[in-house]
Structure 1
Amino acid sequence: MLLVRNLVPGATRLLHVCNLKNINTLHTLARGALQGLLCLRTHLGGRFGGGGKIHRGREHRPAPTIRGLTVLLTIIGGSKGTGAQLASQARSAGHEVTVLSRSGQGPEGVRVLTGDATDPAAAARAVQRADAVVVTVGGAKGNPRHRADVTRTVIDAMKKEGVQRLMVQSSLGAGDSGSLMPAPLRLAMKVALAKPLADHNEQEAAVKDSGLKWTIVRPTGLTDKEPAGSWQALETGDSGTLRGSVPRADLAACMLGLLEDEDSIGKAVGISS
């Protein structure tokens, strides 16, 4: 089990992994069990699972430096969502951050490159001189394999540029992580999120076959709520389960911590509040 430090204060709140529309559609399949999950969510306030440990953060403490050094960090898909949170936190910690996005947008203070990460030339330009690369891209209309395509292109670029450290944001439910979820939630995700999970499975397979120093993070449902300042990190085989959601700011802080932790290399870690 990886023990991850938390670095930001805030309030805890738990939401569904799937959106409300998907959950309502699946009520007929697992009504009683899902209602039980709702009750657990209300009573436990987001702290679930017997096996994971929650680490309280310190207010106003900066994110950790990777191996104690200022690093060159490239984020693929850092214009919004978790990628933007990660870029901001890494920049605040004193790192040099490059963001590659199709929109050409990114958080203040980072180097922004405009381009499609499935373009080998754009990917190569983004990862040049990087100490670590993080892929946080989401899905794309018209391409059900977008995450996998981007990840393969980035891996090829990293190999050509001699960059070794890779982190990829996947999803709980992908790969062998189903055992970390309650059975009703696992069923719900398989039905409601079959296509995204297939993309993530292909993405993870590319990462594991890359020969790079990789870490995969598998968050539960993501929210833009205030950071909770705590989370759980479980590997497949750990006792306990992961349920609900995690604020993107907490996930970003977790990812920075994992980047500095050499024990996370070659591991896939599930994350929830």
Structure 2
Amino acid sequence: MKVLVFGATGTIGKHLLEQLLQSGYAVTAFCRNASKLSQFAHGNLTIAEGDVLQLDTINKAMTDQDVVIIALGSGKSRKSIVRSEGTKNIITAMKNNNIRRLICQTTLGAGDSNGNLNFFWKHIMFGWFLKGVFLDHELQEQYVKNSRLDWTIVRPGSFTDGKKTGRYLHGFEPNDTSITLKISRADVADFIIKQIKDQTYLYQTPGLSY
């Protein structure tokens, strides 16, 4: 099975590449700078250089893919619209190439999961400090939900650098405040990859946390 990863050089993306390759998938990593992935030399890895804000470069990478994973980041920018605009372009390219399965990583707190957040995340981080980033995630989700593709939106809590455990909570109620609001990047990648062959969360938005 061929998997195309957007955001491949990001903190989630690198875990996705490592775990996908370990699991035997044929992986295409889409990124602006191939040199950032020099440590991932592998027979099943193809690197496609491009920009998610340029539709023509995305179309070239889509050829013969089976699954698309979006794990776009905004770097240090708090005003970036790369997640929403990039996702819109990716969806267009998927339709151009008749690819249906889309797994998109956003954030816990988006949409109806806002009730999962504590005061700090709801009002200080997403209500003020990261408001622009949060609103871009919200728009990103709208594009995915309206895409008519076979989508799953994964909403992880705050990232940690912990190891992959495979032991985490997912799909909890949107008003559940007993969760820690934390999840390792490695476990986020683990859950995303499981969605490739698991239809449980098709057209759903599972939260992810310890």
TM-score over 0.5 (shorter chain): yes
Residue number in structure 2 paired with 1:156: 92
| Pairing 1:1-273 to 2, within 5 Å after superposition | 71-104=1-34, 105-106=36-37, 107-109=40-42, 110-139=45-74, 141=77, 144-189=80-125, 190-237=127-174, 239=176, 241-273=178-210
Whole-angstrom distance in 2 between the partners of 1:233 and 1:185 = 19
Change (3 A) 1:211 1:235: farther
Q: State the Cα RMSD in Å.
A: 1.8
> What's the secondary structure of 2:143's corresponding residue?
helix
Q: Deviations over 1:66-111 (max 9, x none)?
A: xxxxx10000111231111111111111110000001123333211
| 1:235 Cα deviation from its structure 2 partner | 4.5
| 1:236 Cα deviation from its structure 2 partner | 4.5
Q: Deviations over 1:29-87 (max 9, x none)?
A: xxxxxxxxxxxxxxxxxxxxxxxxxxxxxxxxxxxxxxxxxx10000111231111111
Q: Residues 102 and 114 of structure 1 are in contact (CA less than 8 Å); yes or no, is this contact kept in structure 2?
A: yes
Identity among equivalent positions (%) equals 27
Q: Which has the larger radius of gyration?
A: 1
Q: Residues 114 and 174 of structure 2 are in contact (CA less than 8 Å); yes or no, is this contact kept in structure 1?
A: no
Opposite residue 23 of structure 2, the aligned amino acid is A
| 1:244 Cα deviation from its structure 2 partner | 3.3
| 1:184 Cα deviation from its structure 2 partner | 4.5
Residue number in structure 2 paired with 1:32: none
Q: Residues 181 and 242 of structure 1 are in contact (CA less than 8 Å); yes or no, is this contact kept in structure 2?
A: no
Opposite residue 150 of structure 1, the aligned amino acid is G
Change (3 A) 1:270 1:257: same
- Point out where structure 1 has 5 or more consecutive residues left out of the alignment: 1-70
Q: Deviations over 1:194-251 (max 9, x none)?
A: 1110000000000000000000111111122223441111244475543332111111
Change (3 A) 1:121 1:78: same
Whole-angstrom distance in 1 between the partners of 2:120 and 2:161 = 25
Q: Residues 117 and 181 of structure 2 are in contact (CA less than 8 Å); yes or no, is this contact kept in structure 1?
A: no
Task: Kindly indicate whether structure 1 or structure 2 has the higher relative contact order, using CA contacts under 8 Å at least 6 residues apart.
Answer: 1
Q: Deviations over 1:157-206 (max 9, x none)?
A: 00000000001110111122111223443223322221110000000000
| 1:263 Cα deviation from its structure 2 partner | 1.9
Whole-angstrom distance in 1 between the partners of 2:17 and 2:25 = 9
Q: Deviations over 1:129-178 (max 9, x none)?
A: 11100011101549521100100000000000000000111011112211
> What's the secondary structure of 1:259's corresponding residue?
coil
> What's the secondary structure of 1:186's corresponding residue?
helix
- Point out where structure 2 has 5 or more consecutive residues left out of the alignment: none
